[in-house]
A and B are shown apart, each in its own frame.
Chain A
């Protein structure tokens, strides 16, 4: 990425759960988060270093819905457009 002069610092990650965002920004281990495996906590280090930047996004604008749950026709077609899926005309 750096070869193409693309700055790879503070990559935004959009998440629709505030609790998860707070968890990633807080370096202190709480008893509530104790059971989460250590390997998942690496994200905290990256947030601390400033490589990743976790931001909140509301469910309306969460495009990943299309690959985590079955959706209604309207929502499905809407997200398809966002993902840059278009009909190819020959």
Chain B
């Protein structure tokens, strides 16, 4: 092993270190993605998904290139390593990979438009002496309109720094909000 100095750039993840804080971001990767999918001159959006957005399996809308759609989803999934904010929208779009339609591609493009406005957004880790592990968990009862399955999400903080996060559509159809929340609490 050879000493190569301070960690700056590793597997498309950039790390900016200073005395009492560390930034983890993927600015370069996002810029490359926008160029790769020819979306670098699109308009900027404030959120990755519209609050009333509802994606479903379509039959009437025209099909889109599956290779392109899967490529976009794959690249975005890697991006969630430093971006918990797009995790939900990417996971939602990823469910339509088997039969992508025009409406699904529009939703994915919206994520890219959001990313364009927030290329240099990253996670900040501050130096602190507070090492209290705290967990938040929540469930969206029957959030998936097609199969009526619940989506559970959780994130763990160590002190005030976010260390891990997850979003998952559960395999079981919950009978009540309480059950959905109970399962999400138990899924650590």
Tell me if B47 and A71 are in contact (CB < 8 A).
yes
- Type the 1/0 row for B161-182, where 1 means its CB is closer than 8 Å to any CB of A: 1100111000010011111011
Known: A12-B134, A70-B89. A83 touches B50 (CB 8 A): no
Tell me if B135 and A13 are in contact (CB < 8 A).
yes
Q: Give the interface residue-count category, chain B.
A: 35 or more
Closest CB-CB distance, B149 to chain A, in whole Å? 12
Tell me if A67 and B49 are in contact (CB < 8 A).
no
- Type the 1/0 row for B72-102, where 1 means its CB is closer than 8 Å to any CB of A: 0000000000011101110000000000000
Tell me if B131 and A86 are in contact (CB < 8 A).
no
Tell me if A8 and B85 are in contact (CB < 8 A).
no
Contacting B16 at CB < 8 Å: which of A1, A6, A80, A88?
A88
Tell me if B85 and A66 are in contact (CB < 8 A).
yes
B34 CB contacts on chain A under 8 angstroms: none
Tell me if B167 and A76 are in contact (CB < 8 A).
no
Q: Whole-angstrom distance between the alpha carbons of A49 and B176 in the complex?
A: 27
Tell me if A80 and B85 are in contact (CB < 8 A).
yes
Contacting B50 at CB < 8 Å: which of A17, A57, A62, A70?
A70
A87 CB contacts on chain B under 8 angstroms: 118, 120-122
Q: Whole-angstrom distance between the alpha carbons of A88 and B24 in the complex?
A: 9
B167 CB contacts on chain A under 8 angstroms: 67-68
A77 CB contacts on chain B under 8 angstroms: 46
Tell me if A84 and B85 are in contact (CB < 8 A).
no
Q: Whole-angstrom distance between the alpha carbons of A40 and B180 in the complex?
A: 11
Contacting B172 at CB < 8 Å: which of A24, A37, A54, A88?
A37
Contacting B122 at CB < 8 Å: which of A43, A71, A86?
A86
Closest CB-CB distance, B77 to chain A, in whole Å? 14
Tell me if B131 and A4 are in contact (CB < 8 A).
yes
Q: Whole-angstrom distance between the alpha carbons of A66 and B16 in the complex?
A: 25
Tell me if B133 and A17 are in contact (CB < 8 A).
no
For A67, A68, A71, which residue has the most chain B Cβ atoms within 10 angstroms?
Answer: A67
Tell me if B131 and A16 are in contact (CB < 8 A).
no
Give B170's nearest chain A residue, CB to CB: A40
User: B5-13, B61-69, B138-146: which lies at the A interface?
Assistant: B138-146
Give B52's nearest chain A residue, CB to CB: A70
